[in-house]
């Protein structure tokens, strides 16, 4: 592939960069993206008015969901322009709006949902009026998602749902959930599953937060006790929900902006070390150079996926290569940043200690990076996909 922009792409990139510089509210500059580093970079709650203004400006361009058709409020940008937009947003450290609703739910409804679902849900997703969470994983069904055991039994115009979900990000603030439940236990595990839209205010749903090692409670356990879900809320056909869920998961595979953020993190750590005279900078200089190279490798792997999408080819094991490599690079980055910072790298407070560096982001980055090779499909699962689908090896 050609790693240089075409003249048209270069013009689009310059236009995006200029528009961001002109329109990004000052209160949000340098505040980062959706990851731990970005969310916590300011050390305080983001200015809600500034965020609302930024969202409004992006939405006016169709750039909150640039891949969507204009009829749904998107810009329907070509793949390469989507890639450029994500890169420039990450380079500017500008907040992005995504999550389960924009990234997974709406595209799935566009493909499989009934017309009333698209009319009812897509606009509130785009505007941020309603938030979504994903009810897929269970205590006994994580990487082996087809082993889901949460039951949904038809009862008149409803399905009655009983079971448990876990690692449900944002369930405590979500208005709706996409739920994968077993509607026919006699079928093989990849069949007999159905896909539902569930109102989180429904009677019988209860939550239990899961506190992670960084002290945050973004994850939740969700319990269903005789929860009645209207049959009309099923997406696709009964017992064919696995195929709908597989489509939803395909939308999770875009990591094109992550490498830009990785490089920004490294550069910020290096600048901080120079400013504070940290001895760890000299001791780890070769590892930092290696990481800068690794970040560029990750970007090239990501660009390969984007180029395949631009040609109309569906990435499969290629996306798993990106996920596997980038998540392990993130962990190596966190470890090196921690060593560069020395003892101060253990301080997680935000503006409360004279010993902290970068508002405690280095320590929190180290803690959060542990999950990088687990969330979104473990490294073991990614290696299996690469082995079977990429190398043609037999399943073990």
Task: Spell out the SS3 assignment of the chain.
Answer: CCCCCCHHHHHHHHHHHHHHHHHCCHHHCCCCCCCHHHHCCCCCCCCHHHHHHHHHHHHHHCCCCCCCCHHHCCCCCCHHHHHHHHHHHHHCCCCCCCHHHHHHHHHHHHHHCCHHHHHHHHHHHHHCCCCEEEECCECCECCCHHHCCCEEEEECCEEEEEEEECCCCCCCCCCEEEEEEECCCCCCCCCCEEEEEEECCCCCEEEEEECCCCCCCCEEEEEEEEEEEEHHHEECCCCEHHHHHHHHHHHHHCCCCHHHHHHHHHHHHHHHHHHHCCHHHHHCHHHHHHHHHHHHHHHHHHHHHHHHHHCCCCCCHHHHHHHHHHHHHHHHHHHHHHHHHHHHHHCCCCCCCCCCCHHHHHHHHHHHHHHHHCCCCCHHHHHHHHHHHHCCCCCC
- Res 232: pLDDT: 98
Of 169, 177, 161, the closest CA to residue 36 belongs to 169
* Per-residue pLDDT at 192: 94
Check residue 134 and give its pLDDT: 94
* Cβ(344)–Cβ(369) below 8 Å: no
pLDDT at 238: 95
CA 107 to chain CA centroid, nearest Å: 14
In this prediction, residue 116 carries a pLDDT of: 97
199 Cβ partners below 8 Å, 6+ apart? 175, 176
Q: Which of 290, 375, 368, 293 is nearest to 334 (CA)?
A: 368
pLDDT for 327 equals: 93
What is the Cα–Cα distance from 181 to 93, expressed in whole angstroms? 38
CA–CA gap between residue 165 and residue 140 (Å, rounded): 9
The answer to whether 379 and 373 have CB atoms below 8 angstroms apart is yes
Give the separation between CA 294 and CA 336, rounded to whole angstroms: 13
Neighbours of 308 (CB within 10 A): 17
pLDDT at 268: 87
32 close to 89: Cβ distance less than 8 angstroms? no
- Rounded to two decimals, the pTM is 0.83
Taking the C-alpha atoms of residue 365 and residue 112, their distance in angstroms, rounded to an integer, is: 37
| Calpha distance 359→362 (Å, rounded) | 8
pLDDT of residue 44: 38
* CA 374/CA 382 separation, integer angstroms: 10
In angstroms, the CA 386 to CA 372 distance is 18
Interatomic CA distance for residues 322 and 377, integer angstroms: 12
Q: What are the chain's domains?
A: 7-96 (1.10.540), 132-239 (2.40.110.10), 257-390 (1.20.140.10)
Residues tagged active-site: 252
Closest by Cα among 224, 104, 212 to 159: 224
Q: Along the chain (396 residues), what's the average pLDDT of each consecutive run of 10 residues? A: 83 97 86 40 57 93 94 92 89 85 92 96 95 93 85 98 94 96 93 96 95 78 98 96 80 66 87 87 92 93 83 82 94 93 82 73 88 86 92 85
pLDDT in tens, 296-322: 999 889 888 888 877 877 777 898 999
Cβ distance 16 to 84 under 8 Å? yes
């Amino acid at each position: 592939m050609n790693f240089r922009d075409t003249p048209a792409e270069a013009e689009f990139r310059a236009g995006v960069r200029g528009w961001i510089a002109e329109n990004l509210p000052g209160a949000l500059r340098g505040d980062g993206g959706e990851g731990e580093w970005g969310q916590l970079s300011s050390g305080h709650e983001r200015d809600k008015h500034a965020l609302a203004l930024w969202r409004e400006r992006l939405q006016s361009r169709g750039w909150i969901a640039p891949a969507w058709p204009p009829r749904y409020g998107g810009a329907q940008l070509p793949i390469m322009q989507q890639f450029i937009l994500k890169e420039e947003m990450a380079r500017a450290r500008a907040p992005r709006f995504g999550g389960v609703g924009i990234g997974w739910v709406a595209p799935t409804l566009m493909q499989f949902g009934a017309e009333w679902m698209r009319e009812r849900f897509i606009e509130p997703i785009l505007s941020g009026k309603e938030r979504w969470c994903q009810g897929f994983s269970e205590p006994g069904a994580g990487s082996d998602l087809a082993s889901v055991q949460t039951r949904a039994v038809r009862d008149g115009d409803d399905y009655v749902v009983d079971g448990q979900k876990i690692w449900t990000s944002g369930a405590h603030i979500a208005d709706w959930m996409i739920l994968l439940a077993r509607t026919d236990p006699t079928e093989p595990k990849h069949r007999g599953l159905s896909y539902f839209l569930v109102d989180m205010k429904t009677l019988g749903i209860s939550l239990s937060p899961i506190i992670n090692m960084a002290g945050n409670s973004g994850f939740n356990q969700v319990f269903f006790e005789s929860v009645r879900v209207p049959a009309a809320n099923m997406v696709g056909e009964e017992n064919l929900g696995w195929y709908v869920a597989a489509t939803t998961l395909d939308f999770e595979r875009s990591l094109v902006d992550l490498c830009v953020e990785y490089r920004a993190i490294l550069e910020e750590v290096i600048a901080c070390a120079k400013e504070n005279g940290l001895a760890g900078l000299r001791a780890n200089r070769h590892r930092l150079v290696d990481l800068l190279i690794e970040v560029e490798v990750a970007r090239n792997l990501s660009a390969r996926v984007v180029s395949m999408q631009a040609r109309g080819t569906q990435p499969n094991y290629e996306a798993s290569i990106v996920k596997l490599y980038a998540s392990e690079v993130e962990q190596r980055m966190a470890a090196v940043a921690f060593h560069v910072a020395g003892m101060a790298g253990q301080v997680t407070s935000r503006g409360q200690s004279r010993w902290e560096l970068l508002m405690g982001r280095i320590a929190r980055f180290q803690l959060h990076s542990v999950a990088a090779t687990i969330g979104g499909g473990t490294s073991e699962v990614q290696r299996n996909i690469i082995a079977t689908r990429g190398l043609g090896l037999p399943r073990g």
